[in-house]
Amino acid sequence: FPVEALSVPQPIRDFYLNSGIRSLYPPQSQAISAGLLDNKNVMISIPTASGKTLLAELAMLKSIESGGKALYIVPLRALASEKFRRFTEFRALGYETGISTGDLDLKDEYLGTNDIIVATSEKVDSLIRNETRWLSDISVVILDEVHLIDSPDRGPTLEIVITKLRRLNPKMQIIALSATIQNSKEVAQWLNASHVVSNWRPTKLYEGIYYDGVYCADVQTTGKSNNSEGSKLKNKDGTDAQTKTSPLEKKIIPVFIGREIDAAVSLVKDTLVDGGQCLVFESSRKNAVGFAKKAAPIISSLLTPLEKEELARIAFDIAEGSDTEAAAVLASCVRSGVSFHHAGLSAEQREIVEQSFLAGKIKMISSTPTLAAGLNLPARRVIIRSWKRYDANSGMQPIPVMEYKQMAGRAGRPHLDPYGEAVLIAAKEKDVELLTEKYIHSSPESIESKLGAENMLRTHVLSTLTNGFARNREQLIDFFKGTFFAHQHGLLSTISLTTVVDKCLDFLIENDMCREQKSEANKSETQKPETNKTEVKTPEKSKSAFQTADKLDPIEKKNSNSVYGNDSVLIPTTLGSTVSKLYIDPLSASVILEDVLKFKSGTKNLLEISPLGLLHLICKTTDMKLLYMKSGDYPWVSEFIADNAERFISIPDPVRVSEYEWFMGEVKTAVLLYRWISEVSENDISKEFDIGEGDLRNFSEIACWLSNAASRLCRLCGFSEESALFSDLELRLQYGASVDLLSLLKIRGIGRVRARKLYAAGFKSKDALKKSDYITVSGLVGPKIAEKIYRDIGLTMDAEELSRLKNTKTGHPK
């Protein structure tokens, strides 16, 4: 299918022609025939690198051309940035792109000025809860990696977001992109979409096994693939390269590490000698780092002096960016042309590693499976070093076929590699057949909705009510009938949904987040729920989000056994709608308010237990991510609890083993956060808790968001002192700083290290800085930051004066 024949305006066709795309790949042509450019819903389930993004782009551009707006939903923040960067290229066509992955409680109305908006599913959920107007203008939504509906923690939100968006914009086009999964047809049916499925890949993929020094590709799999790109490969000098095929069987020259042959290192060396790059998948972070370290000297010996020079520059940037030991290890690996990759890296480190690998400078990455989940980092050879993974409940378990296929799918860079090879390493002879059957000859599993559980539905039941998608129990159940869960489970789902929805309603009513009001005829019988926590006012009238609730289908009145009769309206309280907008689990809100109330009525004063007790309270909420307890943690955590008993709101009885164990995990996490806000260095924290910089950021970000929510909940309930405490805690968590720095930290551009330097020099507040002289301040924090500070605190200096000041030893701004 030639690009020239696409039914889109000429400038769009030219955009692609100019970037070298002249004709569509076969599955892309299938999607066009399925109505992608005719406003039809299309579910596309094709392998990695077979051109899903181009299809999403065409659908978006076509829709925008007709006056619409596109929403691109991604599962990961890192993926959002990657897509955002790509879509900003459409500025050449006059289209603007915006990205929204940040604070989950903000509306982001300004984003609506863009033609394309990229956001995570959580962010879209929050935008809906905050009734962001432009959502009603969306004409096409792209669901990237829609197979993640199967994920226990992220899937339910994705399902709900899709269901809500369809209600808001019934005419909206849906383009769903998925890896190959067994039941993609079922998802297509749910979305009322045409189904495009294909195994075609632009680069031939060989899937094989390495055992005892020999790599053997599986012929059955290679026969299925279809390589139309081979003949188009070019040599560096522009001449046509010979189409190469992977050897179906190859003896791999052994590399010894100590006295043993290392299979994976041998395979990596073999690829590099052949001019390719490698991705090695490991089962844990520790193994990923360990393997990079092990392979480093071998790979380093294959580098040219020029390559070494370039890598030294990249390593320098990594080492400059952070003073932790983990960063030093990463820098040293990168200097040798290898890297590791896992969620513990900081965003900056990940970015450097990914870009350097894409540019061919880093030759090998050893990674946990995070890299296989969507990031566009292909390599000639993908090595799956361990096909088993540790599971806390059941020990070492084989990885799912879907995960294997995602890793294998990364093999072969389109237009650059003559073929891709995925290699599983078999330790024993009998594993060769087992792995061939289990992974190479098997299809990926089916995906399954994870929406059915009460702890997943509670928050969505509340938001469905607060945004006016439903006003009574029957409308609620009707709403949930639009989910994939209901589609998958048919009639049965109605029964289980009804039970779970009723449980959620019980919770929300008990906790004052929603109340039941009998309709006009029975109004006198209305029972107002007891409120023992807050004086929560009910909004004047039940809100109808986006003013569309009246568009909802009329609900049939059916007899029901539930206590929530269909003649009663469910009205969210102010507390309920605040909780929904704050984007926290209603259970988290009730945990926070319950503990704050304990203080209000008890003998302990919340002001005295802070901040450790407050941090522990945050760690008690269901939204907080907790550190695992390792065997070495039990002695020190127990001792810590004993030494600080008076600082915890309550301590469970150790006889209740599992409850106490959970409590210890909360305490361990609270101590981590406590170290952070006590200005302990990131390196010391990383070592003490065996976590990466990326993890520390992640923990502090979640705690920061929950402290903000706690502060706002306290304010809503009229607890102003407590609200201020959480608000200070939020700021301390944001910067990782002690209370005495708070006043300085409110000035933009000052981090905790600079704030401490200023403080130590006697500049303890904005006012003190206002009386400072520029030379001293710039001596402490550097001229750039000094300028920023002065601008932020309202001291103006013209450029001439600034340059005079920089050149003299004294001076004070106007």
Q: Which of 376, 367, 447 is nearest to 409 (CA)?
A: 376
Site for ligand ADP contains 178 (CB under 6 A): no
Q: Which of 314, 241, 232, 301 is nearest to 273 (CA)?
A: 301
Q: Tell me the residue type at 508.
A: L
- Spatial distance between the Cα atoms of 387 and 348, rounded to a whole number of angstroms: 29
Report the residue from 53, 194, 562, 678 that binds ligand ADP according to the rule CB under 6 A: 53
- Spatial distance between the Cα atoms of 52 and 83, rounded to a whole number of angstroms: 12
Stretches 22-30, 133-141, 289-297, 616-624: which one binds ligand ADP (CB under 6 A)?
22-30
Q: Which of 74, 144, 71, 145 is nearest to 108 (CA)?
A: 71
Site for ligand ADP contains 48 (CB under 6 A): yes
Pick between residue 28 and residue 114 the one whose CB is nearest to ligand ADP: 28
Report the residue from 30, 31, 36, 52 that binds ligand ADP according to the rule CB under 6 A: 52
CB of 55 to ligand ADP, least distance (A): 8
- Spatial distance between the Cα atoms of 611 and 719, rounded to a whole number of angstroms: 17
Backbone angles phi and psi of 807, in degrees to 5? -95, -5
CB of 174 to ligand ADP, least distance (A): 17
Pick between residue 73 and residue 476 the one whose CB is nearest to ligand ADP: 73
Q: Is the four-CA dihedral 753, 758, 764, 765 of positive or negative sign?
A: negative
CB of 187 to ligand ADP, least distance (A): 17
Report the residue from 49, 76, 146, 377 that binds ligand ADP according to the rule CB under 6 A: 49
Interface characters, 548-587, with ligand ADP (x: CB under 6 A): ----------------------------------------
- Spatial distance between the Cα atoms of 496 and 475, rounded to a whole number of angstroms: 16
Stretches 20-28, 335-343, 491-499, 620-628: which one binds ligand ADP (CB under 6 A)?
20-28
Report the residue from 30, 41, 50, 283 that binds ligand ADP according to the rule CB under 6 A: 50
Q: Which of 194, 172, 381 is nearest to 278 (CA)?
A: 381
Interface characters, 356-395, with ligand ADP (x: CB under 6 A): --------------------x-------------------
C-beta separation of 547 from 433 below 8 A: no
Pick between residue 196 and residue 295 the one whose CB is nearest to ligand ADP: 196
Pick between residue 49 and residue 614 the one whose CB is nearest to ligand ADP: 49
Pick between residue 68 and residue 378 the one whose CB is nearest to ligand ADP: 378
Which token pair is 708?
A: 């903000």
CB of 123 to ligand ADP, least distance (A): 21
- Spatial distance between the Cα atoms of 50 and 21, rounded to a whole number of angstroms: 13
C-beta separation of 648 from 641 below 8 A: yes
Stretches 17-25, 345-353, 473-481, 776-784: which one binds ligand ADP (CB under 6 A)?
17-25
- Spatial distance between the Cα atoms of 807 and 814, rounded to a whole number of angstroms: 17
CB of 383 to ligand ADP, least distance (A): 20
Report the residue from 12, 51, 573, 637 that binds ligand ADP according to the rule CB under 6 A: 51
In sequence order, the 6+-apart residues with CB closer than 8 A to the CB of 149 are 155, 158, 159, 187, 447, 449, 450, 484
Q: Which of 406, 405, 412, 407 is nearest to 439 (CA)?
A: 405
Q: Please report the DSSP string for 660-700 in residue order.
A: HHHHHHHHHHHHHHHHHHTT--HHHHHHHHT--HHHHHHHH
Report the residue from 6, 12, 15, 24 that binds ligand ADP according to the rule CB under 6 A: 24
Conformational region of residue 177, where left means phi above 0, alpha means psi within -120 to 50, and beta covers everything else: beta
Which token pair is 487?
A: 């589609």
Report the residue from 6, 12, 15, 28 that binds ligand ADP according to the rule CB under 6 A: 28
Report the residue from 25, 583, 599, 663 that binds ligand ADP according to the rule CB under 6 A: 25
- Spatial distance between the Cα atoms of 647 and 183, rounded to a whole number of angstroms: 52
Pick between residue 22 and residue 656 the one whose CB is nearest to ligand ADP: 22
Stretches 46-54, 151-159, 161-169, 392-400: which one binds ligand ADP (CB under 6 A)?
46-54
Conformational region of residue 690, where left means phi above 0, alpha means psi within -120 to 50, and beta covers everything else: left
Stretches 49-57, 98-106, 184-192, 739-747: which one binds ligand ADP (CB under 6 A)?
49-57
Stretches 48-56, 70-78, 239-247, 767-775: which one binds ligand ADP (CB under 6 A)?
48-56
Q: CB count, 10 Å around CB of 261?
A: 14
CB of 86 to ligand ADP, least distance (A): 9
- Spatial distance between the Cα atoms of 517 and 499, rounded to a whole number of angstroms: 20
Pick between residue 231 and residue 720 the one whose CB is nearest to ligand ADP: 231
Interface characters, 402-431, with ligand ADP (x: CB under 6 A): ------------x-----------------
∠ at Cα 413 (409, 416), nearest 5°?
160
Q: Tell me the residue type at 671.
A: V
Stretches 45-53, 365-373, 459-467, 730-738: which one binds ligand ADP (CB under 6 A)?
45-53
Q: Label the pairing between strands 388-391 and 395-398.
A: antiparallel
**If you search the block for the tokens 């998958």, which residue do you land on?**
488
- Spatial distance between the Cα atoms of 781 and 772, rounded to a whole number of angstroms: 13
In sequence order, the 6+-apart residues with CB closer than 8 A to the CB of 411 are 205, 206, 279, 378, 379, 380, 381, 382, 420, 421, 422
CB of 556 to ligand ADP, least distance (A): 43
Q: Is the four-CA dihedral 263, 266, 267, 268 of positive or negative sign?
A: positive
CB of 462 to ligand ADP, least distance (A): 35
Q: What is the 8-class DSSP label of residue 562? A: S
CB of 237 to ligand ADP, least distance (A): 22
Site for ligand ADP contains 54 (CB under 6 A): yes
Pick between residue 178 and residue 483 the one whose CB is nearest to ligand ADP: 178
CB of 410 to ligand ADP, least distance (A): 9
Site for ligand ADP contains 517 (CB under 6 A): no
Pick between residue 47 and residue 112 the one whose CB is nearest to ligand ADP: 47
CB of 50 to ligand ADP, least distance (A): 5
Site for ligand ADP contains 173 (CB under 6 A): no
Pick between residue 50 and residue 287 the one whose CB is nearest to ligand ADP: 50
CB of 72 to ligand ADP, least distance (A): 12
Stretches 18-26, 562-570, 597-605, 651-659: which one binds ligand ADP (CB under 6 A)?
18-26
The footprint of ligand ADP (CB under 6 A) covers 21, 24-25, 28, 48-54, 376, 414
